[in-house]
Each structure stands twice: as structure tokens, then as C-alpha cells.
Amino acid sequence: MAVLPMKLNVGLVGGTGYTGVELLRLLAQHPNATLRCITSRKDAGTPVGDFFPSLRGHPALDRLAFCTPDEADPTECDVVFFATPHGVAMAQAETLTAANTKIIDLAADFRLQDPAEFERWYNMPHACPHLLKEAVYGLPEVNREAIRQARIVGNPGCYPTAVQLGFLPLLEANLVDAGNLIADCKSGVSGAGRKAEMSIIFPEAADNFAAYGVAGHRHHPEIKQGLRRMSKQQVQLTFTPHLAPMIRGIFATLYATLTDDSVDVQALFERRYAHEPFVDVLPAGKLPDTRSVRASNMVRIAVARRPHGVTVLVVEDNLVKGAAGQAVQNMNLMFGLPETTGLTALPVSP
């Protein structure tokens, strides 16, 4: 007798932003996912295809309209994605976990393990620190086995995904000075969200290049937390984000000082990521660009030696591997599905 494929009832809280539409695009094509509810207070009653014309005509979405949170019952779902501002997921976490509904939060509610650190950076107390303790940080290349057993996953931020994957092989092998790490990062404007804000409207962002968050960025403590776990020691990180005049993409240029000049860093990265389905280590001498990962869940990495140091170049699509794609990758792991399910589409070019 043929075994029927697992079918998951999926809910999406906050589906009108850029990560929301990316989740809808990926989940609509996922063979094991059935979208049951998509919430939006402002746009309740609007058919999904009317709100996002790019999604018109897909049978999984044509029957769906946004509904208010009061009209939806996410406890009927196997998993609920939160593509919402910080603070929303943690307010509903106890109700959902009590109903055996799993949570994947694309905001920061379950990324930082220290409630005081969360409050410092997000200006709100954590609503459920007892659940925070069991939440798993959703970077599969580091926490794959823990994600398989998780009820709550804090999906990593876009910058933290690129920076951590770039430094990971070096810190795991204790081959660089953890007290002097530098991350010089650039993001497309979609990383700022789907909102009307002066710095990200077209006349301001086009034909321009600017740093921001230099005095302190919310992703900084998240990155440091991950790097400390990799290196098993304290780290010092200089992290500077920039806004680039493009819609999608993260480009992270990372610098570290080697403690062993004899190491073959190219071979080190190739060994570490040899079996990772969404990390591509480029051949020596090749350099990545953001277009090579557009609309895909792939990360591409290049490494280059310099005197007593190493430069690591990392590119990803901030809305896919940096957000929605990684969230679907985590869902696959949480429910015992092949990790690549629904995520094998090739990048889009040009």
C-alpha cells in the first residue's frame, strides 16, 4: 500500500509584508503544506490574489482571503508562522504550544536567550521567558538536530544568517582571533520591510549607498550570541550594516585574523559545508554576487587568504535564506520532511 505524504495545516500571522508574501509563494508550492489562515487586521476580507497580484491564479491561494486574528483559529494548525513585528509571537506562544501547534517566528521574540538582552534591544519585557528557554535558534547548519525536536523556533535575521555562516568554519576550528572579528554588510531595501519610510523610498535609496545602525543594530547581539556558541569563548565583533540600492540581497564581507597561517581555509570551508544543501562554497578565485542567489534559499561563500588573515564573502537573498526560505527549511526539519522540500527552485537571473 502506498504511503500518503504528510499534509500540514499551516497558518500565517501577518501576511502582508515582504516576508509574508515570500512565505505565501513558497508554501503555495510546498507539496506537504495546506494554508488554512492568513491574518491581517487592516486588510481582512481582501483576497490574497487581489492584494498580491503575483499570486493570482494559484489554486492553493485563490480560495484564501486575509482574516482578522479574531476570525482565525491558529490552534487548528500544525504550525504557525509569524511574519509580524516583534512582540506578537510571544503573546500567543503559550496558547499555541498548549494546543500542540508549533511556532516559527520570523521576528526576534525567540532569537535571544537572555530576556534582559531582549528587553534592552527591543524595549519590551519578554512575555514568556519560560518558553524562551526551550526555543531553538533556527540556523539549520548549526542546530539541525535541536530544530527537529523543537516546538518553538526563532528564525534568524538576514544579516545574522550570512555573518554566522561565514565565520562558522573558522570559529569551530578555533583558527581565528575571536576578539577581532569584522563584518561589513550590505542589504537591499526590502530588508527594511514593506512600509513608507523616507530612507527606503525610491528617490532616496536609488543611486545611493549609506551606512546605518553604526552605533548599535538589533542584529548585533544576535550575531554575537551565535558566534560565542560556535567559538565557546567571548567574541568581539565590529558590525556595520549598509543600505544598497537594490531590492533583494545581502552581501557580507567578513574579516578575521588567523591564529594558524598554515591552514588551508579553502579546504576547511569545503569540508564543513560539503553536505549542506543550501551552502555553496565557490572554487578558489571565484567571487559571489547577490544576483546568483536571487529568489533562492542558497548561500554562496568565497574565501580568500591575506597576510595573517582571511576574508570571507557571503551572499544570500534576504527574503529567502534570510527569512521565509529558512523558515520553511525549519518547518521541514520540525516535521521530519526532507529538508529541501519546496525549496529547490533555482535563482532568478537577471
Q: How many helices (H) and strands (E) does the chain have?
A: 12, 13
15-52: burial string, b at 16+ Cβ within 10 Å, e else: bbbbbbbbbbbbbbebebbebbbbbbeebbeebbbebb
Q: What type of residue sits at position 292?
A: S
Q: What are phi and psi of 273, to 5 degrees?
A: -110, 15
C-alpha distances (whole Å) from 226 to each of 4, 164, 259, 311 are 38, 7, 21, 19
Angle at 322 between CA 317 and CA 323, to 5 degrees: 115
DSSP element (H, E) containing 13: strand 8-13
Phi/psi of residue 177, nearest 5 degrees: -75, 105
185: annotated active-site residue: no
Alpha-carbon span 333 to 338, nearest angstrom: 7
Query: Which residues, in sequence order, are bridge partners of residue 65?
Result: 47
Q: Which residues contact 133 (CB under 8 A, 6 or more apart)?
A: 113
Q: Give the burial class of 141: count Cβ atoms within 10 A of its Cβ; 0-12 exposed, 13-18 middle, 19 or more buried.
A: middle
Inter-residue contact 329 to 297 (CB < 8 Å): yes
Query: 145: which residues sit within 8 A by CB, 6+ positions away?
Result: none
152 backbone dihedrals φ, ψ, rounded to 5°? -130, 130
Q: How far is CA 309 from the centre of its chain?
A: 28
The one catalytic residue in 37, 67, 128, 158 is 158
How close are the terminal C-alpha atoms of the chain, in Å?
45
Catalytic annotation, residues? 158
